[in-house]
Structure 1
Amino acid sequence: MTSSPYSVSDGDPRCLPGFRRTYRDGRLTLGLGFPLRTRADESDAADIADQVEMARAAEAGGFAALYARDIPLRVPSFGDVGQVYDPWVFLTYVAAHTSRVALGTAAIVLPVRHPLHVAKSAASLDRLSGGRLLLGVASGDRPEEFRAFDLEQGSRGERFRENLSVMTHALTTEMRGIRWSGGWMHSADVVPKPTASAIPLIMTGSCQQSIGFLASRGHGWMTYPRDFDAQRRTVARWRELVGESLVGENDDDEVFKPFAQSLQIDLAEDPDESASPIGFGFRIGHRRLVEHLGDLRDIGVNHVLLGVGASRRPIREVVDELARHVVPHFPALAH
């Protein structure tokens, strides 16, 4: 799929390599979140060579996607540094050292970023990676960041909607002005334009919006782990609202918008160790993890972003074991 960087494409974003590798109705794939480092590792999370090495190993091991968080400031009270490097710069570097794996943002905090900058950065990464970007966006939750940027955290939902609208306008129109509370773009345009008609937009968390809003504006949703009954109901509600959002707007009533979730794991040495709770996930052996992921697939989850930072084993062991014993059950969908 090719198009001019100065012109809006009519290509379907669901046909882009990143989306095709990661999402398909009735299937489940796996991703990993940066930094690829565990509690057992001695190397620094900022060691770029080590991170690229692990990214290549994950790609070769059949993981569908790799994700970088958007954490503008170091806030010690949150317990980790998070993403050391700017996500746009970091993922562009990773893109240059990989060839197939999808590259996701999990997620760009729209209220604290200028929407025109986000549009330009996202479209640039989309093109430079060959259509591998999955653009996750969120409303943010760190009070220190809102104060630092002189923003009212309580208004982040409204600001998210406005910035999303401006960003989308900039990516999907040519030389058409727009005025909003933060500025006025007139007789100017944002380039490059995306490879397709849009960049796959993955709503992340609640975004301080209704599920209906997320279903109507996004190409997919990344949410948090819940117990099976609650997650089954959430998936069903998502599918229902996606269908409603298409009524009268699209002749294809079968448009697929994936449902994804995150899951923190501490991979146990014993492959048969049963799950025991940790924050936003559990400690578990790889055989039990395969069973759990299969159950998630059966209730309609299409993708799981695995966080491995809580693991007590070195990252190389964890990624290798997942690639050998777990990923083959849930492989990437395109190579």
Structure 2
Amino acid sequence: MTGSPCTLSDADPRRLPAFSRTYGEGRLTLGLGFPLVTRGDEDAVSDIGHQVEIARAAESGGFAALYARDIPLRVPSFGDVGQVYDPWIFLTHVAAHTSRIALGTAAVVLPVRHPLHVAKSAASLDRLTGGRFLLGVASGDRPEEFRAFGLEQGARGEAFRENLAVMTHALTTEMRGIRWSGGWMHSADVVPKPTASSVPLIMTGSCQQSIGFLAEHGHGWMTYPRDFDAQRRTAARWRELVRETSDDDEVFKPFAQSLQIDLSDDPDEAASPIDFGFRIGRRRLVEHLGDLRDIGANHVLLGVGASRRPIREVVEELAEHVVPQFPALDTSPGPASFRESSPGTAGR
């Protein structure tokens, strides 16, 4: 990390460790989403020590990134607690116990958060991790959260655009005022500034915007699974819009998607649908991921919460048989794997 935390940088955020480890043209890498726990686990596995241990195993196993969700309130009707700990604090803790793996939000709900706070938190995490942070942002989808924060869910698209503009202004300018519907920043500034000219910004979901807006304002896009032919068309449309909205015809903005999996004991089990993904064997998963790479996907965030097997088994099998086909773009040696360390030792 170079430069004063109070001074703007002109470095390309796509050259930061998080982005360059996770995204490459013509390449596909894999990430995992917190909490790293499955239906096959005991409750104790959700303990923070186990989460850190599994995160370290994911890093040494070649995964490119780990992601924390931004879920301010527990809403039982959504079926899961989601991210229990505040994502900024949680990812800072994980960062202290890992060394190379990218850490992302998937995603910060911009309409319910103050944009200046988001800017400060994102730049802080970027600085403290030496550029290992990916800022995923979204518009949110839980009505209970909008009501609790005094917002209209139907206005979240407009709120997203405004808060994105204010956040981006705070990250990329120095001592320049801005006025918006929620406030006025004058003769003041948000610090620290990012390591590069901005924090890598990954639009997540639709954000209640057009794909063209996402292509113009983000460094990449994380979308959801679709029918294969529909996803092929979506990826092609993304690349077309990236070219149209950029001054540089050669600019690379990655196309990524999430995928929920229930990893079968049978490596050859064919895919059968579950919510937002498949129950599938590892060999069929490799084939599917290869097909996604061939249509232009650069990264897949795997959700493993639906798996019936314990998280340790799932991550170990993925690391041994799947990740080597789609490794992180930084493959230097890392911390000990599950087989090399005992439970509870991570971070001592």
TM range (shorter): over 0.9
Letter aligned with residue 82 of structure 2? G
1:46–1:84 CA contact under 8 A, matched in 2: no
Counterparts in 2 of 1:45 and 1:205: CA distance versus 1, 3 Å: farther
Q: Please give the secondary structure, in 1, of the residue aligned with 2:122.
A: helix
Task: Give the Cα–Cα distance (whole angstroms) in 2 for the partners of residues 79 and 176 of structure 1.
Answer: 44
Does 2:158 match 1:158? yes
How much does 1:45 deviate? 6.1
Q: Does 1:243 align with 2:227?
A: no
- 1:198-248 C-alpha deviation (Å, 9 max, x unpaired): 1100000000000000000000000000111100000000000000001xx
Q: What corresponds to 1:208 in structure 2?
A: 208
279, 285, 304: which one pairs with 1:283? Answer: 279
Q: Percent identity?
A: 85
Q: Find the counterpart in structure 2 of residue 234 from structure 1.
A: 234
1:35 and 1:45 in contact (8 A); partners too = no
Partner Cα separation in structure 1 for residue 103 and residue 33 of structure 2: 10
Letter in 2 for 1:317: E
Q: Over the residues paired in the alignment, what is the CA RMSD in angstroms?
A: 0.7
Give how far 1:32 is off: 0.1
Post-superposition CA distance 1:160-183 (Å, at most 9, x none): 000000000000001100000000
Give the match for residue 254 of structure 2.
258
User: Quick check: 1:148 aligned with 2:148?
Assistant: yes
More deviation in 38-47 or 164-173? 38-47
String of CA shifts for 1:57-88, please: whole Å, max 9, x gaps: 00000000000000000000000000000000
1:84 aligned to 2:80?
A: no
Decide whether the 8 Å contact of 2:37 with 2:46 is kept in 1.
Answer: no
Post-superposition Cα deviations, 1:253-288, rounded to whole Å, max 9, x if no partner, equal: 101000000000000000000000000000000000
Shift in Å, 1:46: 4.5
* CA displacement at 1:2 relative to structure 2: 1.6
Deviation at 1:334, TM superposition (A): 1.5
In the other structure, the counterpart of 1:173 is 173
Q: Does 1:222 align with 2:222?
A: yes
Query: Which residue of structure 1 aligns with residue 296 of structure 2?
Result: 300
SS in structure 1 of the partner of residue 43 of structure 2: coil
Matches within 5 A, 1:18-29: 18-29=18-29
Q: Please say if residues 110 and 163 of structure 1, whose CA atoms lie closer than 8 Å, have aligned partners that are also in contact.
A: yes
- Return the TM-score normalized by structure 1: 0.98
Shift of 1:326: 0.1
Q: Distance in 2 between matches of 1:295 and 1:260?
A: 13
> Residue 334 of structure 1 aligns with which residue?
330
- Kept in 2: contact 1:172–1:193 (CA 8 A): yes
The match for 1:188 is 188
1:38-187 matches, within 5 Å, as 38-44=38-44, 46-187=46-187
Counterpart CA distance in 2 for 1:171 and 1:90 is 22
Pair 1:274 & 2:270 matched: yes
CA drift at 1:44: 4.1
1:171 counterpart SS class: helix
Counterpart CA distance in 1 for 2:167 and 2:192 is 13
Runs of at least 4 residues off by over 6 Å: none
Which residue identity is paired with 1:72?
P
User: Aligned equivalents of 1:167 and 1:334: distance in 2?
Assistant: 30
Q: For residue 171 of structure 1, what is the amino acid of its counterpart?
A: L
The alpha-carbon deviation at position 43 of structure 1 amounts to: 2.9
Q: Quote the Cα distance in structure 2 between the aligned partners of 1:255 and 1:43.
A: 45
